[in-house]
Amino acid sequence: MIAYKEKVEACVQQIQTLIDGFQPEVGIVLGTGLGGLVEEFDIKYDLAYEKLNDFPLSTVESHKGRLIFGYFNGKKIVAMQGRFHFYEGYDMKTVTFPIRVLKLLGIKALVISNAAGGINPKYNKSDLMILNDHINLMTANPLTGTNINEWGDRFPDMFEPYDTQLRELANQVVKENNLPVHEGVYAAVTGPNLETKAEYKYLSIIGADVVGMSTVPEVIVAVQMKLPVFAVSVVTDLCYEGALKPVQLEEILENARNAEPHLSKLIGGIIQKF
């Protein structure tokens, strides 16, 4: 863990040198098919993951692998265009390495987006869902092992993982722009396969509104480091009885892209009000 801490701190120092003291206020993690949001940014620095010390590399085709610094709606931001997943073969500490880095770079809030399957029958393709809670069904946890006390408590409380104030700002933005947005529970699974019909039914029974393969590890680490989190899912396919059918990755990506205008308004509005 000492070596891990040193790697995170070394990466932070390298990035600080490359961005000439630029101080981001908000971190943004862009999920599957949602990287187009960067077109809304006034970009000042564009760093490829492969150029950063010990930073993981994106192996998913729809995740480009760039750390972008600039301005969005008047605020200084840093955005991950491409995240990391447990199913890629990374351990959880590697998956969440960038969140540690962003926190130490000085961000005051973290905004996370993801693509997810809609389990709630009220949801439609390309709808947005604000996360108010989650169910962690992954097989590993990023906090396992020796704790680094200066990064946070050994046993962080998860009573309110998604920041109430950020969700209130989001609801203001939703009303102002009349966006098709829900609020609900995200179930995190390991992946990379999609679920069976029986598994979707099970997820519905235990209270999930959407299901995905990311986000929760990053949220756990952010909560431990006392970093306020806002997270939103884009419903890319429908997984409830009557709508469930075989789905291809191309359709998932298309539905994610169709949601980008609404996602941009939501995230941009929150950042503007932050």
Give the distance, in angstroms, between the CA of residue 248 and the centroid of all CA atoms in the same chain. 22
Residue 13 has pLDDT above 70, yes or no: yes
Q: How many structural domains comprise the chain? A: 1
What percent of the chain has pLDDT above 90?
Answer: 88
CA-to-CA distance for 256 and 114, rounded, in angstroms?
9
- Mean pLDDT throughout 189-209? 97
109-118 and 128-136 beta bridge pairing: unpaired
Residue 62 has pLDDT above 60, yes or no: no
Q: How confident is the model at residue 60 (pLDDT cuts 50, 70, 90)?
A: low
CA-to-CA distance for 3 and 113, rounded, in angstroms?
30
- The pLDDT value recorded for residue 35 is 74
Instruction: Give how far Cα 233 sits from Cα of 91, 136, 248, 270, Å.
Output: 23, 15, 19, 15
Provide the residue range defining the domain that includes 165.
2-273
Q: How confident is the model at residue 7 (pLDDT cuts 50, 70, 90)?
A: very high
Q: Which residue has the tokens 């564009």?
A: 46
- The pLDDT value recorded for residue 59 is 74
Selection from 167, 78, 185 nearest residue 123 by Cα: 185
Choose the weakest-confidence range: 31-35, 134-138, 167-171. Answer: 31-35
| Strand ranges (E), the chain | 26-30, 42-48, 66-72, 75-81, 109-118, 128-136, 181-188, 210-212, 229-238
Q: For residue 183, what is the domain's CATH number?
A: 3.40.50.1580
- The pLDDT value recorded for residue 31 is 83
pLDDT in tens, 148-198: 999 999 999 999 999 999 999 999 999 999 998 999 999 999 999 999 999
- What does pLDDT average to over the chain? 94
- Mean pLDDT throughout 10-32? 95
Q: How confident is the model at residue 32 (pLDDT cuts 50, 70, 90)?
A: confident
pLDDT in tens, 98-122: 999 999 999 999 999 999 999 999 9
